[in-house]
Amino acid sequence: MKKQIKNKEITLDILAQNIDTLAKKTEQSIDTLAKKTEQSIDTLAQNIDTLAKKTEQSISNLAKATTKGFIDVEGRLNKKIEESVDELAVMTSNGFIGIEARLSNRIENVENKVDGINKRIDSLVYDKVNYETYTVLEKRVTMIEGKIKTK
């Protein structure tokens, strides 16, 4: 029985040693895992920082590109507007030149007609009897007619 107890003590000692060894290995594994987890968290934090910086740079670059694009579009649009205004000014000027020529011809025709009318009026005035002369003659004719009727 002593042998059995001794065997049990040896078995318990071996079991205790195995548990201690296992506990040390488990503790080492947990420490290693904790270190690896900490390293992974640090690496992840660095990656997040790098990604945040890249995102910030990308947003900044996008903002710059957008601003540059709007400036370019505004410049081209202003240039196109200026060209359109210049073309419109030339077309308007050419239109006024054409209108001026037609109006000049019409004004000249009207002036010629007015001159003709003035000449006709002058001709009629010269051909007609003077009003004073007409009144004097009318009175004389009326007197003469009156004398002829009474005789």
Over 80: is that where the pLDDT of 20 sits? yes
Between CA 16 and CA 20 the distance in angstroms is 6
Between CA 38 and CA 54 the distance in angstroms is 24
Residue 137 neighbours by CB under 8 Å, 6+ apart: 129
What DSSP state is assigned to residue 1?
-
User: Which of 91, 9, 78, 47 has its CA nearest to residue 99?
Assistant: 91
Over 80: is that where the pLDDT of 44 sits? yes
What is the pLDDT at residue 138? 86
pLDDT, tens digit, 9 for 90 and up, residues 60-83: 888 888 888 888 888 888 888 888
Between CA 84 and CA 92 the distance in angstroms is 12
Q: Domain range for residue 58?
A: 2-142
151, part of any domain: no
Q: Please state the domain count of the chain.
A: 1
31, part of any domain: yes
DSSP 100-125: HHHHHHHHHHHHHHHHHHHHHHHHHH
148, part of any domain: no
Average pLDDT over residues 110-120: 85
147, part of any domain: no
79, part of any domain: yes
What DSSP state is assigned to residue 16?
H
Confidence of residue 110 (pLDDT cuts 50, 70, 90): confident
Q: For residue 76, what are the CA distances in angstroms to 68, 89, 147, 149?
A: 12, 20, 102, 102
What is the pLDDT at residue 136? 84
46, part of any domain: yes
